[in-house]
Amino acid sequence: MGGLIFVGLGLAGLQDLTLRGLDAIRSADVVLAEFYTSRVTDASLADLEGLFGKKVRLLSREDVEAHGDEIVREAKSKVVAFVVAGDPMTATTHHDLLRRAEEERIPTRVIPGISIFTAAPGAAGLQIYKFGRTTTLAFPEGKYVAESPYEVIRENRARGLHTLVLLDSQADKDRFMRAPEAVELLRAIEERRKENVVLPDTLLVGLARVGAPDARVVVAPASEWHSIDLGPPLHTLIVPGTLHFMEEEALARRRNGSPRSV
Amino acid sequence: MGGLIFVGLGLAGLQDLTLRGLDAIRSADVVLAEFYTSRVTDASLADLEGLFGKKVRLLSREDVEAHGDEIVREAKSKVVAFVVAGDPMTATTHHDLLRRAEEERIPTRVIPGISIFTAAPGAAGLQIYKFGRTTTLAFPEGKYVAESPYEVIRENRARGLHTLVLLDSQADKDRFMRAPEAVELLRAIEERRKENVVLPDTLLVGLARVGAPDARVVVAPASEWHSIDLGPPLHTLIVPGTLHFMEEEALARRRNGSPRSV
């Protein structure tokens, strides 16, 4: 009897993996991994194989999106562990794979992973209950820049809510958007739209490598971000809405970088 | 040199704990735990002590909220691991404790945990990008019922967004709101407000023990919830907004309970 088990690896190194996830991987017949929707900071395929004690087959975007039926077919007779960065169900592609397996009545299981959706608000010192809809800022394609993130931020701010802005990550091309680049894109949209969503003095929270020992959090107005270096990816941005005084103080303590770490 | 490390235990059993969390707990000088803001399904204090290989001091609501300064004082000279259910930074109380430590310039660290914020959308087959603000439905106090969750759901639905509704959990009184009770409360508010937010045919997703091997997901209209038994707590509710066809199909496959599990 086979099955398809989605396992989230979390954000940084291999240390974010849960005991449940490790156990499932170790007892699976086949281990597949994809790192093109996101990637785990500071972990190589060799590291994974070392921890799991077995071979890991690395899948490309095409393997998953064009040949997902082959993964599902393999899961009919073997227990397949499909490991991914972060939480498995935050990527649409994985929902699609789960759907195919469910339709074929293959037993499935989702083992959640540490996710930027909860880790970023916590690292910033902001209340997760005050976040509106999340948005993703994409790399411009030629001259075209998708303005929907600007609209999501505007709607959230109008209701006093914070916005988690995920930054485009094309891991298969080793291309990861950095926080200063994201701020520049938002400012350029502001120049066109002029709806007062991201002004020069709008306070923005930039986060890098959340979950890793060298994670960084910096709070600064939009006008300063061109000269801020958060170090290597992955980066994330938060556009705060109305701040509770406790949140205001938390951001103030992060104005010149993260607080001291154990 | 001391420090205060927040460790998230996740949702179910002890298997949601990350390798990073386990490592931090095992090398801490002191291990404190609180389970009044939430609790871990199917785990006792003895289980924790068995896994950690050391004593765990269980804290009451008063220990944390009225005597948080004592925790911070202890963290000045010793490395204190403070373990909690779910993700540590989804509870306001923990933000307050982090603030006190940061203000005293005590080194701190937050080790994220598996959280209902990402696990529930995934288990329901809904896209996390389409969730608006999260809300918490509280037990009525006498005749008073807080209507803000109804308003959050209304606002989210007006924008086509789903709402994660966390249900009141008073773990120190062993009192946990169940999904049918939550639906009844929302229907009672609807009767008063009549703003067409939760009608008898509104499809609702109830989730129980997310993350545990016996987790359940049931999709049913509001009118049917009085006779649905999801089993023991913790329960969570999702009020869907506008559904993408893939989400619609995922909910249809959960109409009569969760899909087959590995």
Residue B32 lies in a domain: yes
Q: Are strands A216-221 and B135-137 parallel, antiparallel or unpaired?
A: unpaired
Total number of residues shown for chain B: 262
Q: What is the pLDDT of residue B158?
A: 97
Are A239 and A127 contained in the same domain? yes
Q: Which of B111, B142, B168 is the last residue of a domain?
A: B111
Q: Do B112 and A17 touch (CB under 8 A)?
A: no
- Per CB-CB distance under 8 Å, the chain B contacts of A112 are 10-11, 16, 114-115, 118-119, 122, 211
DSSP secondary structure of A91-145: SHHHHHHHHHHHHTT--EEEE----HHHHHHHHHT--GGGB---EEEPPPBTTB-
* Encoded tokens for A256: 């010149």
Residue B51 lies in a domain: yes
B152-162 pLDDT tens trace: 999 999 999 99
- Closest Cβ opposite residue B110 in set A22, A123, A132: A123
| Terminal-to-terminal C-alpha distance of chain A | 46
Residue A249, H or E segment? helix A245-253
Distance, in Å, from the CA atom of A38 to the CA atom of A87, rounded to the nearest integer, reads: 10
Residue A262 lies in a domain: no
Q: Do A90 and B253 touch (CB under 8 A)?
A: no
Residue A256 reports pLDDT greater than 80: no
Is the Cβ–Cβ distance between B122 and B128 less than 8 Å? Answer: yes
> Domain of A73: which CATH number?
3.40.1010.10
Q: Name which of B89, B98, B105, B254 to mutate to probe chain A: the one with the most chain A Cβ atoms within 10 A of its Cβ.
A: B89
CB atoms < 10 A from the CB of B243, how many? 18
Residue B41 reports pLDDT greater than 90: no
State the average pLDDT over residues A228-242. 96
State the average pLDDT over residues B228-238. 96
Distance, in Å, from the CA atom of B88 to the CA atom of A15, rounded to the nearest integer, reads: 17
Is the Cβ–Cβ distance between A234 and A35 less than 8 Å? Answer: no
Residue B108 reports pLDDT greater than 90: yes
| B11 — pLDDT class (breaks 50, 70, 90) | very high
> Domain of B138: which CATH number?
3.30.950.10
Q: Do A259 and B102 touch (CB under 8 A)?
A: yes
Domain count of the fold of chain B:
2
State the average pLDDT over residues A208-222. 93
Residue B257 reports pLDDT greater than 80: no
Domain enclosing residue B156, as ranges: 116-255
Residue B256 reports pLDDT greater than 80: no
* Encoded tokens for A63: 């393997």
Are A23 and A90 contained in the same domain? yes
- HSE-up (13 A, CA, CB side) for residue A144: 3
Are B141 and B247 contained in the same domain? yes
Residue A260 lies in a domain: no
Residue A226 reports pLDDT greater than 90: yes
User: What is the layout of strands, in order, in the sheet containing B163-167?
Assistant: B135-137, B163-167, B235-239, B203-208, B216-221
Residue A241 lies in a domain: yes
Q: Do B118 and A118 touch (CB under 8 A)?
A: yes
DSSP secondary structure of A6-37: EEE-BSBTTTT-BHHHHHHHHT-SEEEEE-SS
Are A16 and A97 contained in the same domain? yes
Q: What is the pLDDT of residue A250?
A: 94
Residue A204 lies in a domain: yes
Are A140 and A236 contained in the same domain? yes
Higher pLDDT, A38 or B247: B247
- Per CB-CB distance under 8 Å, the chain A contacts of B115 are 112, 115, 117-118
A93-106 pLDDT tens trace: 999 999 999 999 99
Q: Which of B78, B96, B111 is the last residue of a domain?
A: B111
Residue B234 lies in a domain: yes
Q: Name which of B5, B6, B11, B20 to mutate to probe chain A: the one with the most chain A Cβ atoms within 10 A of its Cβ.
A: B20
Residue B262 lies in a domain: no
Distance, in Å, from the CA atom of A130 to the CA atom of B135, rounded to the nearest integer, reads: 9
Task: Please tell me the distance in Å from A5's CA to the nearest CA on chain B.
Answer: 7
How many contiguous H segments (helices) and E segments (strands) does chain B have?
9, 12
At which residue do the structure tokens 């759901």 appear? B153
Q: Do A18 and B18 touch (CB under 8 A)?
A: yes
Q: Do B89 and A128 touch (CB under 8 A)?
A: yes
Minimal CA–CA distance to B116: which of A112, A182, A51, A223?
A112
Q: Which of A66, A81, A111 is the last residue of a domain?
A: A111
- Closest Cβ opposite residue B110 in set A14, A122, A131: A122
Q: What is the pLDDT of residue A189?
A: 97
Count Cβ–Cβ pairs < 8 Å, chain A vs chain B. Answer: 179
Are B250 and B188 contained in the same domain? yes
Regarding an ipTM greater than 0.90, the answer is yes
Q: What is the pLDDT of residue B225?
A: 97
Q: Do A11 and B112 touch (CB under 8 A)?
A: yes
A115-163 pLDDT tens trace: 999 999 999 999 999 999 999 999 999 889 899 999 999 999 999 999 9
Are A144 and A236 contained in the same domain? yes
Minimal CA–CA distance to A189: which of A160, A162, A165, A218?
A165
State the average pLDDT over residues A200-221. 95
Average pLDDT over chain A reads 94
State the average pLDDT over residues A180-190. 97
Distance, in Å, from the CA atom of A128 to the CA atom of B90, rounded to the nearest integer, reads: 6
Q: What is the pLDDT of residue A259?
A: 77
| B178 — pLDDT class (breaks 50, 70, 90) | very high
Are B164 and B183 contained in the same domain? yes
| A261 — pLDDT class (breaks 50, 70, 90) | confident
Distance, in Å, from the CA atom of A235 to the CA atom of A68, rounded to the nearest integer, reads: 29
Residues paired with residue B58 on neighbouring β-strands, in sequence order: B33
Q: What is the pLDDT of residue B208?
A: 96
Task: Please tell me the distance in Å from B212's CA to the nearest CA on chain A.
Answer: 10
Q: Do A89 and B132 touch (CB under 8 A)?
A: no
Taking 3-state DSSP, the helix, strand and coil percentages for chain B, each rounded to the nearest 5, stand at 40, 25, 35
State the average pLDDT over residues B19-29. 97
Are B59 and B92 contained in the same domain? yes
Are B96 and B198 contained in the same domain? no
Q: What is the pLDDT of residue B222?
A: 98
Q: Do A18 and B14 touch (CB under 8 A)?
A: no
- Please tell me whether residue A55 adopts helix, strand or coil conformation: coil
Are A99 and A138 contained in the same domain? no
Is the Cβ–Cβ distance between B29 and B71 less than 8 Å? Answer: no
Task: Please tell me the distance in Å from B132's CA to the nearest CA on chain A.
Answer: 5
Q: Which residue of chain B is at minimal alpha-carbon distance from A3?
A: B262
Is residue A246 packed enough to be buried (19+ CB in 10 Å), middle (13-18) or exposed (0-12)? middle
CB-based contacts of B139: which residues, under 8 Å, 6+ apart? B168, B170, B175, B177
Minimal CA–CA distance to B192: which of B145, B159, B158?
B145
Are A150 and A104 contained in the same domain? no
Q: What is the pLDDT of residue B259?
A: 77
Q: What is the pLDDT of residue B173?
A: 85
Q: What is the pLDDT of residue B262?
A: 84
Q: What is the pLDDT of residue A32?
A: 97
Q: Do B125 and A95 touch (CB under 8 A)?
A: yes
Distance, in Å, from the CA atom of B15 to the CA atom of A21, rounded to the nearest integer, reads: 8
State the average pLDDT over residues A12-20. 94
CB atoms < 10 A from the CB of B242, how many? 12
Distance, in Å, from the CA atom of A50 to the CA atom of B166, rounded to the nearest integer, reads: 39
